[in-house]
Amino acid sequence: MASCSACGAAIIFGGKTVGDQRFCNDECAQNGLILARARQLSDADVRVFASQIHSGQCPKCSGAGPIDVRTSHQVWSALLFTRWKSTQQIACRRCGIKSQAGDLAISVVAGWWGFPWGLLMTPIQVGRNIFDMALAPNPTQPSPKLLQQARLILAQRSLFAEGADA
């Protein structure tokens, strides 16, 4: 059976074929193209672009850097129902801490009220926020996460540029 080249799901019928690759839908086809392009980019190009982001302005508050990937963690529950997620953003440390503190507050207030996942996940998500607030990535150079994001943004841009030419 064919499987999606982007997400790996089995394709039972339909799907989308691009070149010699199969995808389950347009979104996966798009992601697949970006990932394939991302793999072709040279480490040197990615590093230069990541450094530009790192020493540039914060996209959220236009404040000074260093800019890096900041992750905040949230959990909320409603009785038997608990949802948790981690959100990444490219921003300065102040903006990162703002999001982490906001998600921490939401988790403390709304995380507990589900059984059993609310009780289990709330301390984890709260701990992750505290950990990420205290331990920022090295301010002198882009983190591996930023390098990865920079690679994907570059890949997306180069595909977009080709689309505009055609």
> In the chain, count of helices (H) and strands (E)?
5, 4
Smaller CB distance to Zn ion: residue 26 or 43? 26
Smaller CB distance to Zn ion: residue 60 or 83? 60
Smaller CB distance to Zn ion: residue 9 or 109? 9
Region near Zn ion per CB under 5 A, out of 9-17, 43-51, 127-135, 136-144: 9-17
Is there binding between residue 90 and Zn ion (CB under 5 A)? no
Smaller CB distance to Zn ion: residue 97 or 104? 97
Number of residues lying near Zn ion (CB under 5 A): 13
How far apart are the C-alpha atoms of 59 and 53, rounded to whole Å?
Answer: 9
Is there binding between residue 92 and Zn ion (CB under 5 A)? yes
The one among 29, 33, 58, 121 contacting Zn ion by CB under 5 A = 58
* Local structure of residue 70 (DSSP, 8 states): E
Q: How many CB atoms lie within 10 A of CB 133?
A: 17
Phi, psi of 73 (to 5 degrees): -130, 130
DSSP three-state, residue 116: coil
Closest CA to 144 of 74, 43, 64, 61: 43
Region near Zn ion per CB under 5 A, out of 4-12, 73-81, 99-107, 129-137: 4-12
